[in-house]
Structure 1
Amino acid sequence: MEEILGRIFDRIFNNWTALKLAVEYSQGSSNSLQVANEIKSYMVEYCSQNVLEAEDIQDALDAIMDEEFDTICEDDSTKEISMIIHKFLQLLRENNLTQCEIELNQLPEAHEQWLTMPQIPQPRGQREDSDSSSDNETQDTPMEEDSEWTVVKRRK
C-alpha cells in the first residue's frame, strides 16, 4: 500500500502550486526541498496507518503547511488534495488496485518533477533581489507576504 501511496503523493505534490511556491521561496528554511520530501513520506505513512476522512487529511496538510512553511492556503488546494487522496485511500482499502492505477494515470502529469530536483541554497539577501525581477512567477498564484507567514489566495 505504501508503494502506490508514494506514487500518488509524488504525483499530487509535484502538481501542488502552493507547496512548490513555499519551497521555492524557502518559507520552511534553506532545506525546504528536503522538508517537502519528508512531508510527503510522513503523509504516506500517516495515511497508510490510519483510517482517515478527507477532513482529517486536510487538517494535517493545513497544519503542516502552516508549521513547516509558515504558509496558509486560502485557495482550497488542501481541500481538493485531501478529497483526491481520500478517494485513493478508499480504493486501496477496498483492494481495488486496478481502479487505483487507472485513477492515478488520470491525474495530470507534473510539468517538472521538482520534488526530486536538487535545491541550490541561495542566501536570503540575494533571494529578495531576484524576487523583484521575476514578477511573472508570482502572477500565477497571488501571494501576500508578511514577516511571519505567506497566504496563497484563490485565483479569480
Structure 2
Amino acid sequence: MLYDDFKPIVDLILNNWTALQLAVEHGMGAPGGEKTAQLMSVYIARYCVENIVDQDDLTELLEDLMDEEFETVCHDDSPKEVASLLILFLSLLKEGRHDELRARIEAMPKCQKWLSEPMHDSAPPQCHGNPDDDSTSSSGDDEDDSPETPGINGDAATSSYKNVEPEPMDEDVEPGWTVVRTRRKK
C-alpha cells in the first residue's frame, strides 16, 4: 500500500531531475534509456519503502544507478537533493501528513511526465552492470538509432541552452560522459 502511494511521488521527483532527463534524452548508457529510467523509478520506490534509508545511502544508490545505467556522473550534488526530497516525502507519507505532502507536491515545478508512461510490470534491474561488457554487442559499427543523440563530447546537451556556454572538457572526464555542474547565479 505504501509503495502504491509513494511510486507516483518518486516518478514526479525523477521527472524533475535534469541530470536523469539529459542522460535519457542524449542516449547515455544502454539503448532504451526511458525504459531503464522507468525501471529505476520502480527500484528506488521499492528500495525506499522496503528499507530504512538515510540520505547518504540513498544518495549513493542514486549516484550508482546514474553511473552504471546511464554512464553519467553528477558533479552538481543533484543526487543528494533528490535523495533529500525522496526521504522528506516518504516521511510525510508515513506520518500521514497528507495535506503538507500535497502542498509540497503542488509547489514543485510542473514538468512533462515522461516517466509516468505505462510500462509492463517487470521487475526492476537486480544487477547493475556496464552495458559495454555485453559480449553480444557489435564491436565496431555502432550506428545510432536516434537522431537527437549528441556526439561523444556531449555538445548537444549544452547547445540547447542559450545562456550556458560550453565548458572546456576536463582532462579527467572520459569520452562519452556528460558533465553536470551546478548553475552559477549572477
Partner AA of 1:115 in structure 2: L
Deviation at 1:138, TM superposition (A): 5.5
More helix by share: 1
Deviation at 1:41, TM superposition (A): 0.5
8 A contact 1:65–1:71 mirrored in 2:
yes
Alignment partner, residue 92 of structure 1: 93
Q: Could you tell me how far apart the structure 1 residues matched to 2:145 and 2:62 are? A: 26
Q: Could you tell me how far apart the structure 2 residues matched to 1:51 and 1:134 are? A: 36
Structure showing greater radius of gyration is 2
Residues 1:137 and 2:138 are matched in the alignment: no
Residues 1:80 and 2:81 are matched in the alignment: yes
Deviation at 1:63, TM superposition (A): 0.7
For the residue of structure 1 that corresponds to 2:179, the secondary structure is strand
The root-mean-square deviation of aligned C-alpha atoms, in Å, is 2.9
Alignment partner, residue 31 of structure 1: 32
Alignment partner, residue 115 of structure 1: 115
Alignment partner, residue 69 of structure 1: 70
Could you tell which deviates more after superposition, 88-97 or 29-38? 88-97
| Percent identical | 32
Residues 1:150 and 2:178 are matched in the alignment: yes
If the length of structure 1 is used for normalisation, what is the TM-score? Answer: 0.81
Q: Could you tell me how far apart the structure 2 residues matched to 1:125 and 1:90 are? A: 40
Alignment partner, residue 7 of structure 2: 6
Q: CA 1:28/1:133 → structure 2, altered by over 3 Å: closer, same or farther?
A: closer
Alignment partner, residue 134 of structure 2: none
If the length of structure 2 is used for normalisation, what is the TM-score? Answer: 0.69
Deviation at 1:141, TM superposition (A): 9.2
Q: Could you tell me how far apart the structure 2 residues matched to 1:99 and 1:58 are? A: 24
Q: Could you tell me how far apart the structure 1 residues matched to 2:12 and 2:61 are? A: 18
For the residue of structure 1 that corresponds to 2:115, the secondary structure is helix
Q: Could you tell me how far apart the structure 1 residues matched to 2:150 and 2:104 are? A: 40
8 A contact 2:14–2:20 mirrored in 1:
yes
Q: Could you tell me how far apart the structure 2 residues matched to 1:39 and 1:73 are? A: 16
Q: Could you tell me how far apart the structure 1 residues matched to 2:117 and 2:176 are? A: 27
Partner AA of 1:151 in structure 2: V
Q: Could you tell me how far apart the structure 1 residues matched to 2:107 and 2:96 are? A: 19
Q: Which runs of 5+ in 2 are unaligned?
A: 119-142
